[in-house]
Amino acid sequence: MPASPDVRCSQVSVAIGLTLLVAASSGAASAQTPGAAGATSPPAATRADAAPPIVIARDFMFGPGTITIKAGATVTWKNTDDEPHTVVSDTGLFRSGALDTNESFTFRFDKPGTYHYACSIHPRMVGTVVVE
């Protein structure tokens, strides 16, 4: 992978990072977003991948339960409950530590696919990341 911007969890920088990563990825032509190169804001089209890739853990649920992103994008999970949660991949690909209230975890998905995860403290809390 080429050197990528240091993607943090603020919504603005995640959106920019996603756009730049798509533009910088030579193999991602088939999933190209029109007019993405150099853009500083997401395209007007309200496609799922235009939304900031942020998942909120609230009231013992991950929301949205399924998030769709482009390959190379970073997803941020933030816990807003009083109770800690974790984000643990079914396959072991990614695993957060315990996220206390208002703590976040990020992971960048480089390969297309469907990724399931759960909270290891509350295993009924499950979610899916679809990477196109």
Partner 1 sequence: MPDKIPVVARRSALKCLGFGAAGTLFALAGGVLTPTSLLAAAADPKGTARLGKPLFVQISDTHIGFNKEANPDVTATLSRSIDLVNGLPQQPELIIHTGDITHLSKPAEFDLAQQLFSQLRATEMHTVPGEHDTTDATVTEYFNRFGKASGNRGYYSFDHAGVHFVALVNVLEFKPGGLGTLGAAQLAWVADDLKGRSASTPIVVFAHMPLWTIYEPWGWGTGDAPQLMEQLRRFGSVTVLNGHIHQIVQKVEGNVTFHTARSTAYPQPEAGVGTGPGPLKVAADQLPGMLGVTSVAVVKHARSLALADASLA
Cis status, amide bond into 64, omega within 30 of 0: yes
Rounded CA gap, 51 and 32, in Å? Answer: 16
Q: Report the distance separating Cα 56 and Cα 58, nearest Å.
A: 6
In the complex, least distance from residue 89 CB atom to partner 1, rounded to whole angstroms: 10
Q: How far is the CB of 88 from partner 1 (least distance, A)?
A: 8
Contact pick of 70, 86, 109, 131 for partner 1 (by CB under 8 A) = 86
User: Is 8 near partner 1 (CB under 8 A)?
Assistant: no
Give CA–CA dist 26/45, Å, rounded. Answer: 23
Site for partner 1 in 89-108 (CB under 8 A): 90, 95, 97-98, 100-101
- Rule CB under 8 A: is residue 110 a binding residue for partner 1? no
Alpha carbon distance 45, 33 (integer Å): 10
Q: Which residues bind partner 1 (CB under 8 A)?
A: 59-60, 81-84, 86, 90, 95, 97-98, 100-101, 116-118, 120-124, 126
